[in-house]
Structure 1
Amino acid sequence: MSNSASSSTTFGCSSSTNNITELKQSVVKNFFIDVQARKPNSWYGKCSICSQGVADTYGTTSNFVRHMKTKHESEYEEWLAKKNINLDTKQRNIDDMIKQKTNKYSSINPRQVKLTESIIKDLIIECGVPLSLVEQNGFKNFMEIVDPMYSLLSRRQLTYDKLPKLYDKMIMKLKLNTDLST
């Protein structure tokens, strides 16, 4: 098995790259040489073990991974063991989903309320960050690190619930201040 695969191609990854995607791209980096773009939407590389050429749609790795699994299973399995990555890609069962759901704050929990208000006031209003922030994987990952029990808001909740309530609250304060000053 050779780890001297050289590649002049930059592998495009989104900010939401997960371990499985990194692993699949790592297969290309570790087992294929002379990786290069071909045609508008494809890339090609030679297997560093058997020199067989493999092509795939650019950015996808299924053909590269399939080649390793079928032609060089022992080398591939050995490499996976060294990577020590759990490839358990089965769907989560309903029990796991229920457990995850019950481990989140309720909507009236003080911590939930405080984080939600901070997202709205500090990020969306003060910093001018778009509402789509709450749908971005980077933000979701960040909030999971900040507080794993926080229940993420949807863009719809912001648009139709949280922001209108905040608007009404601001109008009431403005009316009260205007009445007091006259």
Structure 2
Amino acid sequence: MSSKSVLEHFTVPDDFQNGNTFKGKCMHCGTLISGSYKVTSNFVTHMKRKHRDLYIVHSENKEIQPTLTQCIKKSVKYSPSDPKTVEMTNALIMFIAGDLLPLSIVEVKEFKNLMEKADTKYQVPSRKHLSSKLLHEKSVEIKNNLVNTLKRAENA
């Protein structure tokens, strides 16, 4: 039973100031119970002990508060074609190739943690995917750019 719904069973004085304690009169038995809008445990306890059947009915009808895991959405990763994924993967390839780092760096726990902190939605490519596809594609792209640059230089 929520604090708001429990007070529906009590008459509350109109002249009380928010945050101050007051005596609410039970609508079912006339008992005066001390409490406040912020602290309603006395009202709930009275309903549990003296009017159990009403308490149970209202407890079943209350909205169920979602659990923490329900509140925290699972992080949906970027799709492989997402511009952010493409940008970060290109930066990763240039980082690895530019400093001649081993591809196994993407498997290191600390590196994965760093990338998770940088962007939780980015999925770091596997070492196998880097070596079999991404590095090859990047080398072809760089080679084509060099060839085009040389052709323009010859024509100039």
TM-score by length of 1: 0.42
> Greater Rg, structure 1 or structure 2?
2
